[in-house]
Amino acid sequence: MRSLKEQIRNTSKGGILELKYSLEFREQLLIKRPITIRSVSSPATIVESSPTITIQSKNVIIENLNIVSNDEKGVGLSVKKGCKPVLTNVFIKGKVEGLDGEEGDWEIPDVLELAPIVPNKKNRKKIIIRCPVPAKIYPAEISVTHCHPEDLAAGLNEVEITIDEISENTLLTGYLIIETVSHQLKRKISLAGNTLNLKSYDGDQAGRYILWICPSARIPVNADILRNLPEGTQSEPYGFVLDESRLKSEGYDIRIEGLPEGLFFNNAISPPRIEGIPKHFGESRIKFRFKKGNLNYKYLSKLIINEKVIVPLKITPVQDPVSLIEDEMVSIKFDIVSSNSPNVMFESQKDLPEGLYLNESAGEIYGRISEHGRYFSIIRIEDGINELLQPLRFHVKPKHPLKLNIGESCQVYKGKKFNVPIIIEDSARLSPGIMLAGSHSDTLSVESAEGNIFLSGKFTEVKDYHVGIIVEDTYKRSIRKTLLIRCVDNPGYTFQWIPDSPICVKGRRHSRFSEAIKAVVNEDHKLKLKYSCVGNLPAGFFMGEDGWFSGKIDGMSHSLIIRAEAGEWHTEKTFEIITSPDSSNIVSCKELPPIFGDYKKDRDHDEYAKIEIKKELRSGRVYENYSERLLMEDSHIPENLSLEVNHLPEGLAYNPDLFTIEGLPAKAGIYSLEISDPVNQSAVTAILEIKSSPYHDTRESSDEKKKKRRSGVKLGKAFQ
Give a yes or no: residue 709 inside a domain.
no
In whole angstroms, give the CA distance from residue 186 to residue 395: 45
Task: Identify the CATH number of the domain in which residue 557 sits.
Answer: 2.60.40.60
Asked, as a colleague might, if the bond just before 116 is cis with ω within 30 of 0, I would say yes
Under 8 Å between Cβ of 551 and 512: yes
Q: Are residues 125 and 195 in the same domain?
A: yes
In whole angstroms, give the CA distance from residue 546 to residue 525: 15
DSSP SS3 for 360 = coil
Give a yes or no: residue 102 inside a domain.
no
| pLDDT tens-digit map of 618-647 | 899 888 888 898 888 877 787 678 888 888
Q: Are residues 362 and 319 in the same domain?
A: yes
Task: Identify the CATH number of the domain in which residue 646 sits.
Answer: 2.60.40.10
Helices then strands, counting H and E runs in the chain, come out as 5, 59
Q: Are residues 213 and 227 in the same domain?
A: no
In whole angstroms, give the CA distance from residue 314 to residue 300: 39
In whole angstroms, give the CA distance from residue 146 to residue 160: 8
Residue among 478, 670, 508, 681 nearest 588 (CA): 681
Residues 349-353: contacts with CB under 8 Å, at least 24 apart: 349/377, 349/378, 349/379, 349/380, 349/389, 350/376, 350/377, 350/378, 351/32, 351/33, 351/56, 351/57, 351/377, 352/377, 353/377, 353/394, 353/396
Give a yes or no: residue 106 inside a domain.
no
| pLDDT tens-digit map of 665-685 | 988 888 888 888 787 777 888
Give Cβ neighbours of residue 88 (< 8 Å, ≥ 6 apart): 61, 62, 63, 64, 184
In whole angstroms, give the CA distance from residue 547 to residue 564: 9
Give DSSP secondary structure letters for 218-241: TS---GGGGGGPPPEETTS-EEEE
- In angstroms and rounded to an integer, the radius of gyration of the C-alpha atoms of the chain is 40
Question: Domains in the chain: how many in total?
Answer: 7
Q: Are residues 115 and 172 in the same domain?
A: yes
Which amino acid appears at position 180 of this protein? T
Give a yes or no: residue 650 inside a domain.
yes
Give a yes or no: residue 652 inside a domain.
yes
Q: Are residues 56 and 90 in the same domain?
A: yes
Q: Are residues 120 and 210 in the same domain?
A: yes
Q: Are residues 128 and 205 in the same domain?
A: yes
In whole angstroms, give the CA distance from residue 155 to residue 246: 11
Q: Are residues 236 and 302 in the same domain?
A: yes
- Of 290, 306, 322, the last residue of a domain is 306
- pTM for the model stands at 0.35
Give Cβ neighbours of residue 55 (< 8 Å, ≥ 6 apart): 31, 77, 78, 79, 80, 83, 85
Q: Are residues 380 and 465 in the same domain?
A: no
The predicted structure's pLDDT at residue 296: 63
Q: Are residues 265 and 298 in the same domain?
A: yes
| pLDDT tens-digit map of 148-189 | 999 999 988 989 999 999 988 888 899 999 999 999 999 999
The predicted structure's pLDDT at residue 33: 92
Q: Are residues 143 and 56 in the same domain?
A: no
- Of 198, 217, 236, the last residue of a domain is 217
**Count of positions (residues) in the chain:** 720
- Of 184, 217, 250, the last residue of a domain is 217
Domain that holds residue 37: 4-97
In whole angstroms, give the CA distance from residue 127 to residue 112: 9
DSSP SS3 for 405 = strand
Q: Are residues 205 and 116 in the same domain?
A: yes
Give a yes or no: residue 703 inside a domain.
no
For the chain, residues with pLDDT lower than 70 are 1, 197-208, 217-220, 293-297, 491-492, 523, 525, 567-568, 583-609, 639, 694-720
Give a yes or no: residue 669 inside a domain.
yes
Give a yes or no: residue 712 inside a domain.
no
Strands (DSSP E) along 282-362, which ranges? 282-292, 295-306, 314-315, 322-325, 329-333, 336-338, 345-350, 356-359
